[in-house]
Amino acid sequence: MVGDWVTLFDKYPAKVEAIGDTDAFLLDDDGVRWNVGYAFIKPIPLTDEILQKNGFDCSDPEVKQYHFTEGKERYHFSLRQMYNKKNEKDGYSFYAFNVLSLIINVSDLQHALRLCGIEKEIEL
């Protein structure tokens, strides 16, 4: 989706600027524009470091919380650690404004926030 953060060539973070049938236009951290096929684009795993950099309270190892104010209203959403059948960490459940979704990558978080109408720019 336009605006999503992805990894280019498994190495460089880049933001999606435009999407085509077989390729996408990306802008990397150095301001270089790329036109690459989808095979060279991968999602960025969501980490505690990224969450903390974006204002999440990560003091609880199982629940990451984010509070924000819009106008006179104060809002809250949370990410709860999910596990697979082998008891390995496997993403987060996102809950806000009666929206529940599974979050694994930075772009998943961006989509969930947009769905809830939350205008938050994610920093890497």
Tell me: domain 5-43, CATH 2.70.98, correct? Answer: no
pTM for the model stands at 0.85
**Mean pLDDT in each 10-residue stretch from start to end of the chain (124 residues)?**
94 95 94 96 94 91 88 86 94 85 93 86 90
Domain boundaries, the chain: 5-43, 48-115
Is the CB of residue 13 less than 8 Å from the CB of residue 6? Answer: yes
Alpha helical stretches, state H, 1-124: 48-53, 106-115
**How far is the C-alpha of 12 from the C-alpha of 78, rounded, in Å?**
28
The reported pLDDT for the residue numbered 68 is 81
pLDDT for 73: 81
With tokens 């990410």, the residue in question is 79
**Cβ-contact 111, 102 below 8 angstroms:** no
